[in-house]
Structure 1
Amino acid sequence: MIKGLFETHINVSNYEASAAFYERLPGLIPLHEDAARKSKFYWIGRAGEAMLGIRENYPSPLVQRQHFAFRVDLADLESARQMLNEQGIAATNFFGESDAPLSVFPFMPAVSIYFEDPDGHSIELLAMLPDQPRPELPILSWPEWEKVCGRASYTNER
Structure 2
Amino acid sequence: MIKGLYEAHLPVSNICKSIEFYRGLGLDLAIKYEKAAFFWIVKNESWLGLWECEQAQITYHPSIRHIAFRVDLGDLKNAKTWLEKCGIEMREEFGFKPLEPIVMPDQTHAMVYFHDPDGNSLEFICKLSSEPEDKPKMYLSDWEKYLNNKN
TM range, normalised to the smaller chain? Answer: 0.7 to 0.9
What residue in structure 1 maps to residue 144 of structure 2?
Answer: 146
What residue in structure 2 maps to residue 53 of structure 1?
Answer: 49
Q: Structure 1's 129 and 93: CA in aligned 2 closer, same or farther, altered over 3 A?
A: farther
Identity across the alignment (%): 37
- Structure 2 residue 55 is matched with structure 1 residue 62: yes
Q: Which moved more, 1:121-130 or 1:84-93?
A: 84-93
Q: Structure 1's 93 and 2: CA in aligned 2 closer, same or farther, altered over 3 A?
A: farther
- Structure 2 residue 36 is matched with structure 1 residue 39: yes
Question: C-alpha root-mean-square deviation of aligned residues, in Å?
Answer: 1.8
Helix, strand or coil at the partner of 1:149: helix
Q: 2: CA distance between counterparts of 1:93 and 1:71?
A: 19
| Cα drift, residue 34 of structure 1 | 0.9
What residue in structure 1 maps to residue 108 of structure 2?
Answer: 109
Q: 2: CA distance between counterparts of 1:124 and 1:71?
A: 8
- Structure 2 contact 100–112 (Cα < 8 Å) conserved: no
Output one character per residue of 1:40-82: Cα deviation in whole Å (capped at 9) or x when no partner.
Answer: 00100x311110010101xxx1323311100001111133321
Q: Structure 1's 62 and 92: CA in aligned 2 closer, same or farther, altered over 3 A?
A: closer
| Cα drift, residue 147 of structure 1 | 2.2
| Cα drift, residue 12 of structure 1 | 0.8
Q: Please, what TM-score do these two structures have when normalized by structure 1?
A: 0.83
- Structure 2 residue 16 is matched with structure 1 residue 23: no
- Structure 1 contact 93–101 (Cα < 8 Å) conserved: no
Q: Structure 1's 143 and 80: CA in aligned 2 closer, same or farther, altered over 3 A?
A: closer
- Structure 1 contact 111–142 (Cα < 8 Å) conserved: yes
